[in-house]
Structure formats: structure tokens, C-alpha cells
Structure 1
Amino acid sequence: MTPPDAPSNRWSDLDRPPLNTTALRRGLLRPGALWTSLDVVEETGSTNTDLAARAASANPPAEGAVLVAEVQNAGRGRLDRVWTAPPRSGLFLSVHLTPTDVPVEHWGWLPLLTGVAAATGLARAAGVDMALKWPNDLLVTVDGVERKAGGILAERAGDGVVVGLGINVSLRADELPAPTAGSLALAEAVSLDRETLLRAVLRSLEQWYGEWRAAGGDAARSGLQAAYAAGCATLDRTVRAELPGGRSVVGQAVAIDGDGRLVLSTGDGLQQPVSAGDIVHLRGAAGGLV
């Protein structure tokens, strides 16, 4: 018989109770809603990998499928970075979206849209000021310093997109995966209840996705472009963009354009849009290097 305090016991950490799948379904799955199914698994490698495989299969799930894991042992971020966290210490989920009525050239807004939705939902439910680091990080402030508390990964799958979201909720300082990481707990959130936070994020995502889709994917007309710019900690700062192919560009981040690209004003007076790359905040609003 497994001892009650064994690490594999789902009740071994009473400060981190398991998610209640029945309650989550009752609160999120309703006629006419975006969310059509919600599954919680005890452990998996990556919710994005799992849901993307289902989406690309001969029998894909309906739009609005949600897959949540209590722990991921092979979670992925951008550039194949590993995302690790103790069991039940965060929110690790992926959603399946098929905006087939939106021109494909606008689909690049989906990770930015998810960032706005997550930041909005978490700010309301957790009482923590969230900021966005272009293109896909969620930041909190811990002891006056910006820290990464979440990340987003969007991947094409079948006829749609699978968007993954990882958020550090209750991680303590000695559990952080990197010195630049943070969590809602360390940012003194008023609530660390994962079910409350998950519902808030998914409801916010449903709202923003619906408005963006109703505008035909037009980020300006839906208000998404302005909302992202308003919450983006990257703007008005000097940054280094580490681009594919080993190149890098240093400049001031001055705008998010209509395609979701970060526009840099470089030393030669030119403005250069960046569509992909790793961004390092060099100086500016409190936070130093991020």
C-alpha cells in the first residue's frame, strides 16, 4: 500500500489540491459557448503535443477542446525551451481553436490575444498586475523586479491552432526553474485557487477570441492591438532582438503593428518590424534585464 505522504499521491500536498473536473465542466461548458470539452489528466509530457496530435488526427476534436494537466514532464516553450514545475503548482493547459472564417494571415495574433486574455483574467481573479513581454510571456513584479510567470506557445495543427499556456501559480522561491522566473504567489496574489484562475482565463479568452473573430481577425477593429500595446512591458524600452539565423538588432521598441510585429527604432533612424525572435529587455521601466 502506498504511504499517504508518497510524492505520487494526489493529496500529498494539501496546499495544492487537485482540480475538480466536474466543477470546471459545469462552469465552462454550456450551449453556445466556445468551450466544448474539458479534460484534466494527472500527468503528461506536453498538453500541446497531445492536443495537437488529436487535432491533426482523422477524428479531430471540435473547436473549443481544452486539455489541462496537473503536471507536465516535457512541457515546451518557444525555441523548444523546457517548462518545468512541481505537480499542481500552476496551470498547464492547451486549447484547440479553428478560426476558419478569419484570414490565415491574421492567425499570428492568436498568441498575443491569448496573452491579453490571460493577463486580463488573472488580474481580475488573482488581484495581481500582469504585464506582457512580446511576443508570448506573462510578467509579474516580485520585490520591484519583473519576473516571468507564464508563457504561451501556439502551433498549427490540422485545420486550426493549438495554443498552450503555462502559468506559475503557487511556486515558492526555491522551486523556481530560473532566477528570472516568478509566480503569482511571489507577486502576492489575493487568490491562488487554480479553479478560479482557470475559469477566469478561459472566460477571458472566450471573450477576446469572439471579439477578434467577429472583426474578421482585424486586431485594430476588435480592440486587440490597442489592448496588447497598453499592457506590453516591452514598448518604450531599449531591447535586443535575437533573430533567427544568429543575427541580433538593438533598438527602442516603439509599436506593435497591425500584423502583431514588434517595431524597433534603431540607431540609424530606421524602423524595423520584428516578426519572430527572442527579446531581451536591456533597460527602461523597472526590471533591468529580462
Structure 2
Amino acid sequence: MKLVETSKLCSVLWETETESTNTRLRELANQSYLSDYTLVVTANQTAGRGRLTRSWVTPAGQALATSLLLPKWESTQIAASWAPLLVGAALQHSLTALLPVSLKWPNDILAVGGSANGKKLCGILCETLPDGRIIAGAGINLFIGEADLPTPQATSLTASGVAAAVAVSEQGQTVADPPGTVLADAILASYVAELKRLFTLARTDPARLYQTVTERMQTIGQSVRAELPDGTAVIGTATGIGDAGELTIKGGDGLLTSVAAGDVWHLRPVAETAIE
């Protein structure tokens, strides 16, 4: 499948089927040198992985699984733990052209408004290679119907009512058909262009990058519950992001807690607005 617009921005390796685009990109990078911003993409990922070793399973032809090779992180002025935040901010930017979406800390894209409000549209998983480069993995639910979504908390472009995606679904088409390919190509081209721009900011203007990411993150200012890996929970108001990409939560007692890992839940519905 040819992704014409995306190919103008990076080297694209289309996989008809693969267990995991992150694993495939890692294999290719270990076998020979790959240029920065090489993109592995498929619409049929059979054993995808999400954060905290969770699986990411979608019907063939109905979603995109992508892995983009970022340059060595040591060339930036920020911690590598910011990588998922950059990827999320870039995805939020690209999808806002189709529907209102927001970034939830640390790595989910949520639909904003309508019946899909607060539901997960994309997931992100970043991994580091031995040479210091970052694999930026992202999954995007495109044409999955409501009945076929993996969980009640998930959504897709079709289930969210995006007209171009609904038209593909109604015709029984997939990413491989021309209308589906054009839509996927437009999303990926915008995503890659924005992620490259944000990576440049990470090198040259981290203060501006921080402002951009926090403006796109709906979690900031929300009442949240953070469930930590040790089984404890923190409840309070999310106030910002720290130097290491951690979420800062202010509890009812006024004390600040930094959360570096865990599941965060918004305790009230995501506001029906989104930052472009």
C-alpha cells in the first residue's frame, strides 16, 4: 500500500501483516542501519503491545499500527520519559483536523464530545534502542464499528462519527481501499510532520515544547485518580508535568505528589472542548 504524502516526510515500510510494528522496527534496526524517522506501519498487527505489557488487538484492515524511529534522545534538552508526551501531542494535532480530541497523561488520545466523549481513540508505546534512538509506537482505531471495539472505553473514527471514516465502514472497505488509504495517509503525514517539529523544539526550545504539550493535555486541571504500580492510589487535581514527564497531583491536603507511572482516571467527564 502506498502512503504518498507520508512518504514525502519519512521512509515508509509497509507491512502486510506483522506481530508488532515496534518489534519489527527493532529487528530491522538491529539488522542494519535505518535512517532517523523510518516508519513501519501495518493495518494487520497480530500481537500488539501496549503500556504495562497490555495487548493491543484490532480487526485486520480497521486500524493502524505504526512505529516511527526518532533520533538519538541525547540530542534533546529534555528527559527521554517525555517521548510518549511528544508522540501524544503530535497525534492530538493530526486528529484534531477530523474531530475534537485531547491528550490524557501519559499516552492516550481521547475523543471529546458526543457519545464517544472520554473514550480512547489511540494508544502509545515508546521503547529505547541500544544506540539511544527511540521507537515511537502508536495505534489508531480507524474503521472499527461500535460492536467490534475491544472495550467499552474504546472508540474509533467510525464510532465517533467522522464522516470520511463512516463512509469507508458503510461501504465495507478497509485501509487497503482507496478512500481508507487516503484518510490513513493524511493522518500519518500530519502526525509525522508534527512529531518532527516537536522533536526540533525538544532540541532547541524546551520551554515552548512544555507549553505546547500542556496546552494539548486535558488532564491538567482535571480532578484525577492515579492508581500506582504498588496498588496505592492518589486523588486530587492534576496541576502540571515535571521535568521527567511525571504528573503532579495536588491532594485535598494541599500536598503535591509526583506520579511517574500508573493509570490515571479523570473523575469528571472530559470537557467538550479541545485545544488545536
TM-score with structure 1 setting the length? 0.81
Q: CA deviation at 1:181?
A: 0.4
Q: CA deviation at 1:207?
A: 1.7
Aligned length: 253
Looking at structure 2, the residues matched to 123 and 285 of structure 1 have their Cα atoms a distance apart, in angstroms, of 15
| Aligned partner letter, 2:120 | K
Q: Contact 1:99–1:213 (CA<8 Å) still a contact in 2?
A: no
Q: CA RMSD in A?
A: 2.0
| Aligned partner letter, 1:20 | K
Matched-pair identity in %: 34
Q: Residue 250 of structure 1 corresponds to which residue in structure 2?
A: 235
Deviations along 1:150-185, one digit per CA (max 9) or x if unpaired, are: 011001112111110101111110110000101122
Q: Contact 2:62–2:141 (CA<8 Å) still a contact in 1?
A: yes
Name the structure with the higher helix share. Answer: 2
Q: Residue 135 of structure 2 corresponds to which residue in structure 1?
A: 162
Q: CA deviation at 1:50?
A: 1.4
Deviations along 1:78-97, one digit per CA (max 9) or x if unpaired, are: 01111111122122100111
Q: CA deviation at 1:104?
A: 8.1
Question: Which blocks of at least 5 consecutive residues in structure 2 are unaligned?
Answer: 166-182
Q: Residue 19 of structure 2 corresponds to which residue in structure 1?
A: 45
Looking at structure 2, the residues matched to 146 and 172 of structure 1 have their Cα atoms a distance apart, in angstroms, of 17
Q: CA deviation at 1:186?
A: 2.2
| Aligned partner letter, 1:251 | G
Q: Contact 2:6–2:185 (CA<8 Å) still a contact in 1?
A: no
Q: Residue 88 of structure 1 corresponds to which residue in structure 2?
A: 61
Q: Residue 2 of structure 2 corresponds to which residue in structure 1?
A: 20
Q: CA deviation at 1:102?
A: 2.6
Q: Residue 177 of structure 2 corresponds to which residue in structure 1?
A: none
Looking at structure 2, the residues matched to 48 and 261 of structure 1 have their Cα atoms a distance apart, in angstroms, of 24
Q: Residue 275 of structure 1 corresponds to which residue in structure 2?
A: 260
Q: CA deviation at 1:284?
A: 5.1
Cα distance change, pair 273–45 in 1 and its aligned pair in 2 (3 A): same
User: What SS does the aligned partner of 1:98 have?
Assistant: strand
Q: Residue 180 of structure 2 corresponds to which residue in structure 1?
A: none
| Aligned partner letter, 1:91 | L
Q: Residue 161 of structure 2 corresponds to which residue in structure 1?
A: 188
| Aligned partner letter, 1:170 | F
Match of 2:83 among 110, 113, 116: 110
Looking at structure 1, the residues matched to 76 and 213 of structure 2 have their Cα atoms a distance apart, in angstroms, of 20
Q: Residue 37 of structure 2 corresponds to which residue in structure 1?
A: 64
Q: Is residue 133 of structure 1 aligned with residue 123 of structure 2?
A: no
Looking at structure 2, the residues matched to 255 and 144 of structure 1 have their Cα atoms a distance apart, in angstroms, of 26
| Aligned partner letter, 1:27 | K
| Aligned partner letter, 2:219 | T
**Which is greater in Rg?**
1
Looking at structure 2, the residues matched to 190 and 196 of structure 1 have their Cα atoms a distance apart, in angstroms, of 15
TM-score with structure 2 setting the length? 0.84
Q: Contact 2:67–2:138 (CA<8 Å) still a contact in 1?
A: yes
Looking at structure 1, the residues matched to 218 and 59 of structure 2 have their Cα atoms a distance apart, in angstroms, of 28
